[in-house]
Amino acid sequence: MIGRLNHVAIAVPDLEAATALYRDTLGARVSQPVAQAAHGVTVVFVELPNTKIELLHPLGETSPIAAFLAKNPSGGIHHVCYEVDDIYAARDRLKAEGARVLGDGEPKIGAHDKPVLFLHPKDFCGTLVELEQR
Ligand code: CO
């Protein structure tokens, strides 16, 4: 069911320092910071030949990654995102298998303007999983 790894998201306490690390130390192509107010994050996209890394930094008071950074002050992997061909079919199959879909179970428009869902980390090896419509 799942297809390509679309991205790995890493929460970072210092977005400028993390961007410099990926650009200068690791030699990757990085974007300008993109504020995504609807998602409570500022994102820097790191383009790799086969996937992307997204550096996430909290934006606003109610950012969903603020608590994560409070628990992981030096940052850490926040979620992985897999592509699916049909997000509704994927959701229905996962629910039938007993997996928990976060929120109200309806896909939301994600960071790339495509429908996404998040799956409960306790059901997926301790990892928050995002599914994105291909
Ligand atoms: Co994501």
The pTM (predicted TM-score) of the whole model is: 0.94
- Comparing C-alpha atoms, which of 46, 42, 45, 40 is closest to residue 14? 42
Of 54, 83, 130, 132, which one is the catalytic site residue? 130
Does residue 133 carry a pLDDT above 90?
yes
CA 16 to ligand 1 center in whole angstroms:
19
CATH number at residue 104: 3.10.180.10
pLDDT of residue 35: 95
130 in active site: yes
What is the total count of domains within the chain? Answer: 1
pLDDT digits (tens, 9 = 90+) for 94-124: 999 999 999 999 999 988 889 999 999 999 9
Structural domain for 118, as ranges: 2-133
Q: Residues with beta carbon < 5 A to ion ligand 1? A: 9, 81, 130
Tokens of 34: 């993109």
Residue 57: CB atoms within 10 Å: 23
pLDDT of residue 60: 87
Does residue 85 carry a pLDDT above 90?
yes
CA 98 to ligand 1 center in whole angstroms:
23
Does residue 43 carry a pLDDT above 90?
yes
Does residue 38 carry a pLDDT above 90?
no
**Alpha-carbon gap, residue 86 to 82, rounded angstroms:** 12
